[in-house]
Structure 1
Amino acid sequence: MKAISYARYGGPEVLELGEVRDPKVGPDSVLVKVRAAAVNPVDWKCREGYLDSILDAVFPVIPGWDVSGVVVRPGVAVAEYAEGDEVIGYVREDFLSRGTFAEYVAAPVRTLARKPRTLSFEEAAGLPLAGLTAYQTLHKVLRIGRGETVLVHAAAGGVGSLAVQLAVHAGARVIGTASERNHGFVRELGGEPVSYGDGLADRVRELAPDGVDAVFDTVGGEALAVSAALLAEKGRLASIADPEVVKHGGQYYFVRPDHEDLTRLTELAEEGAISVHVSRTFPLERTADAHRASQEGRTRGKIVVTVE
């Protein structure tokens, strides 16, 4: 099959399109014909070796964890899916090797859910990792409640935009940091936008004089100290970007595959409670350009690679 792979850590130039062996389908997996695979910041961080301390790389590595596609063949122990079923998945293993930027991927059923009927394959590919990250952080770490005020950093990004929608659906008031060009987009999602940069704390306090009940950080660094200072009494802080959050009394969270959570996201998408904004698409052979666009860090919503 055709796939994007890299034989060593490095920049986007190490990504190559070529023929690799077809994946074997284990008893608890299904073979998925990939229709689209979303790009996430973790993809280029893995490619550059930043996650080498927690994830072994078995070279050559096919990158990518997000997928939407069609089941071609279920494993011998699989009763949940049949040939022709449309699925989405956060197909992550505990090592780097068999990713989703390929014509086919063997996906464990624990990583999959039915594709939302209301989303295109491109939109659906952007839901698993970003949606699970937002859903699990909001509901299992921050445990937001109706009537609370939540601050979401990078509210126009892939994770942030879904976090805004999920928090609004949960009955929370959402303040979201974003560049001025994305303020209208954040409002469309149901959030109240504020600009990044100097004076951020004052701008947030103007909207929430008594502080915020929870902060969802997706950027790390200086945002953590500002976020901690904005918390109301018993406020909670979580970051998916910077483990240093624990020094500010918060919690670091790394998303995990979960069939039930992903199924819930599918339901919310079909109810119209959440949507996925795809800003750009690239064909498989231009995956390196998709990585470059992701590394620029200014993407509204998701970047997606399509597979013929």
Structure 2
Amino acid sequence: MTRHEQQSRLSNVARVDSFSRDTREFVEASMRGDGCLVRVTHASVGSTDIMARRGDYLLHPFPGFVSGYDFIGIVEFIDRPAQSLGLSVGDRVAGVLPGMGAHATRLRVPSSLLVPVPDGLASEDAATLPLDGVTARHALDLLKPSPRALFINGVSGAVGLLAAQLAALDGVRVSGTASPASAALAMQYGAATFDYGDTQWPRQLLDQVGKVDGVIDHTGSRTLNSVVKRNGRIVRTAFGGPVGHQKAATAAGFAKTLVQRFAQPSEVVCSTPMYVAMKRRSYRRDLTKVLELADSGRLKPLDPVVYDVSHYREALDAAGQPASGKKVVLTFGE
């Protein structure tokens, strides 16, 4: 075997060997599986990565995984189905991995997880969109028929800002909770805001807007049931919980939501990893649409805060204290 062939099977990965801050940042590992070979140029860092790396994420309860859900990269080798999907060697692509693993220099990825990135969209901007954009689009679709009035609990967050824009494009009236510091930003994205720190915000919402048809929530709050119409729906994208107890909060919230699936208002879980794993065609459609909207200027991506991979620890720290409207993005070099 030649040295080139050996290198093509290796990748430097941010493997979580233990739930300790002192775990090594990147290690060399052999790539497994089939699919396209993608050289990663950019990958986002988000709250799920922070939770997973400290052992507080339900989908990764044990160490031994590589963090990172989404990425931008260059195709270096294609699998057999790639051509039927319009993919070629040299293409710039975006993708979401249902089991994490994107914090790596190279990936083996099934072509069904990849979509082309429009030529006019910068890679660092595109890198802010796959996971959060697909989550926002899927959450809105779970509310169909499309609501006339939507409330987003945490509208100034990454998913919230993208969902607010996508909903506005559908002609939906959007409101949501935000901090006083981030309210102005949310309003720029077309959302009326209520101070999440004010315990009276549900009453204020009912007085000013009335009961809404749908809610997108990332906290698991039961308060939201009081602001939704009887035939409306709450979509839960996450369940909050204090640091060190988020895994338990997710498990409890998921169970409660399942019980409420046929209640009035009904509740449903929006799990992007499950969606990507089980509904590849719909996921690819959603990601393609989000990237095209950003390329056309109809959807504003989050502002990337770019860190070279050599500053991975600093990127994790920044992602742990995210600024509204911004997304931490790793760069591995074009």
TM-score range, shorter chain: 0.7 to 0.9
What amino acid sits opposite 2:17 in the alignment?
Answer: A
Q: Describe how 1:259-274 pairs up with structure 2 within 5 A.
A: 259-274=284-299
1:67-96 superposed Cα distances (whole Å, 9 cap, x missing partner): 011111112443131111011101223xx6
Conservation of the 8 A alpha-carbon contact between 1:144 and 1:214: no
Match of 1:229 among 202, 226, 231: 226
Q: Secondary structure at the match of 1:250?
A: strand
Q: Secondary structure at the match of 2:71?
A: strand
What amino acid sits opposite 1:50 in the alignment?
Answer: D
* Structure-2 separation of matches of 1:280 and 1:271: 22
1:206-242 superposed Cα distances (whole Å, 9 cap, x missing partner): 321x31111100233xxx2221111123121111112
Q: Which moved more, 1:273-282 or 1:288-297?
A: 288-297
2:44 aligned residue: 38
1:113 aligned residue: 115
Match of 1:17 among 22, 26, 40: 26
Match of 2:133 among 114, 131, 134: 131
1:252 aligned residue: 269
* Structure-2 separation of matches of 1:128 and 1:154: 19
* Structure-1 separation of matches of 2:204 and 2:216: 17
* Structure-1 separation of matches of 2:63 and 2:53: 12
2:168 aligned residue: 168
Conservation of the 8 A alpha-carbon contact between 2:15 and 2:67: yes
Conservation of the 8 A alpha-carbon contact between 1:153 and 1:177: yes
TM-fit CA distance, 1:272:
2.3
Conservation of the 8 A alpha-carbon contact between 1:160 and 1:218: no
* Structure-1 separation of matches of 2:237 and 2:332: 29
Conservation of the 8 A alpha-carbon contact between 2:178 and 2:196: yes
Match of 1:67 among 64, 71, 74: 71
2:194 aligned residue: 194
Q: Which moved more, 1:172-181 or 1:249-258?
A: 249-258
Counting aligned pairs with the same residue, the percent is 25
* Structure-1 separation of matches of 2:26 and 2:288: 32
TM-fit CA distance, 1:284:
1.1
Conservation of the 8 A alpha-carbon contact between 1:116 and 1:267: yes
Conservation of the 8 A alpha-carbon contact between 1:218 and 1:240: yes
TM-fit CA distance, 1:278:
2.2
* Structure-2 separation of matches of 1:76 and 1:251: 36
Q: Unmatched 5+ residue regions in structure 1?
A: none
Q: Describe how 1:277-296 pairs up with structure 2 within 5 A.
A: 277-296=302-321
What amino acid sits opposite 2:16 in the alignment?
Answer: Y
Aligned residues: 292
Q: Which moved more, 1:30-39 or 1:195-204?
A: 195-204
Q: Which moved more, 1:243-252 or 1:30-39?
A: 243-252
1:70-125 superposed Cα distances (whole Å, 9 cap, x missing partner): 111112443131111011101223xx6xx111211122222111113342111111
Q: Secondary structure at the match of 1:304?
A: strand
1:89 aligned residue: 95
Q: Secondary structure at the match of 2:213?
A: strand
State TM-score, norm by structure 2: 0.80
Q: Secondary structure at the match of 2:182?
A: helix
TM-fit CA distance, 1:144:
4.9
Rate the CA distance shift 1:297–1:270 in 2: closer, same or farther, 3 A: closer
State TM-score, norm by structure 1: 0.86
Conservation of the 8 A alpha-carbon contact between 2:133 and 2:290: yes
1:126-170 superposed Cα distances (whole Å, 9 cap, x missing partner): 11111111111111x111526x11001211211111111111111
Conservation of the 8 A alpha-carbon contact between 1:110 and 1:259: yes
* Structure-1 separation of matches of 2:81 and 2:62: 28
What amino acid sits opposite 1:238 in the alignment?
Answer: V
Q: Unmatched 5+ residue regions in structure 2?
A: 1-10, 240-253, 261-265, 277-282
